[in-house]
Amino acid sequence: LIASSCYVIVLIIKLCDRLHNMMTLSALTHAKQERIAQETLVGYAPIAHRLGISKIKNLLEDLSFRVIYPKDYKKINEYLVANNQNLQLSLNSFIDKTKNILLQYGLLKDDFEVIGRVKHNYSIYIKMHRKGIDIDEILDLIAIRIIVNNPIECYEVLGAMHINFTPLISRFK
């Protein structure tokens, strides 16, 4: 048990070191930047994902993406910057609407947390290429996560959301 927890701590330290390295790549030649970015994308980001550290995973992916595919990164980033205000307004509106629905269905304010996010650059890129679509066609540029205290509340929330929003059956997770 102690050995495995030490191993996880070592992995977290390595991930943080790699994140720092990715943030300071500009001091290296382009060839070294690409090699390190490729290594980060296929090696380090999946480890962060496996450990459940999505913020580090997303940062590592986006920093790698910017080096490996600079034109694609620029296109997506410009879209996100240009549409940031609308995306944030939509996200905030959806979060507020969701909270009101959950309160109407009898959940108490302290029984749930609604967390929202805008999809990150590399994730958008992967979806665009996997589905062969343009960024304007992506349906889930924003997303929310509802965290509850117990499994019964999870099903209550799911029911409330399905009553108020029509699920896309082929897209339901």
Q: What is the pLDDT of residues 58-111, one digit of tens each?
A: 999 999 999 999 999 999 999 999 999 999 999 999 999 999 999 999 988 999
Q: What is the distance between the alpha carbons of residues 129 and 122, in angstroms, rounded to a whole number?
A: 11
CA distances from 3 to 7, 8, 14 (A): 6, 9, 16
Which two tokens mark 152? 């019964």
* Average pLDDT of the residues of the chain: 92
Task: Report the percentage of the chain scoring pLDDT > 90.
Answer: 84
Q: What is the distance between the alpha carbons of residues 28 and 51, in angstroms, rounded to a whole number?
A: 29
**pLDDT bracket for residue 2 (50, 70, 90):** very low
Compute CA 106 distance to the chain's CA centroid, rounded to the nearest angstrom.
29
Which pLDDT score, from 0 to 100, does residue 126 have? Answer: 96
**Predicted TM-score of the model (pTM):** 0.84
